[in-house]
């Protein structure tokens, strides 16, 4: 999955859950995004590995609900 696709997926999930999504800060290798009360780092790589993608989705389940990406 690409970084842009993941961010789009998170935006849609946040909108559905009625949660605010906001860029906290930008670094050289990662960006920190706040989704509700969870702050997640998203790498700036174009393509994300499946492990990174899975980890981000799992971290957001607490705020967006179980299986929010489906």
Confidence class for position 13, pLDDT limits 50, 70, 90 = very high
Range of the domain at 49: 21-64
Is residue 63 within 8 A of residue 38, CB to CB? The reply is: yes
Confidence (pLDDT) at 58: 96
Asked if residue 8 is part of any domain, the answer here is no
Asked if residue 14 is part of any domain, the answer here is no
Determine if the pTM surpasses 0.85.
yes
pLDDT digits (tens, 9 = 90+) for 32-47: 999 999 999 999 999 9
- Structural element, H or E, at residue 62: helix 50-64
Q: Please, what is the average pLDDT of the chain?
A: 95
- Per the structure block, which two tokens stand in for 6? 């993941």
Confidence (pLDDT) at 23: 97
Asked if residue 5 is part of any domain, the answer here is no
Confidence (pLDDT) at 56: 96
- Give the chain's domain count: 1
Closest CA to 63 of 12, 11, 19: 19
Asked if residue 32 is part of any domain, the answer here is yes
């Amino acid at each position: 999955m690409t970084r842009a696709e993941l961010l789009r997926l998170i935006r849609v999930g946040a909108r559905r859950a009625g949660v605010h999504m906001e860029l906290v800060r930008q670094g050289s290798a990662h960006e920190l995004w706040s989704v509700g009360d969870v702050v997640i780092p998203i790498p700036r790589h174009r393509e994300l590995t499946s492990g990174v993608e899975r980890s981000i989705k799992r971290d957001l389940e607490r705020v967006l609900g179980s299986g929010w990406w489906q």
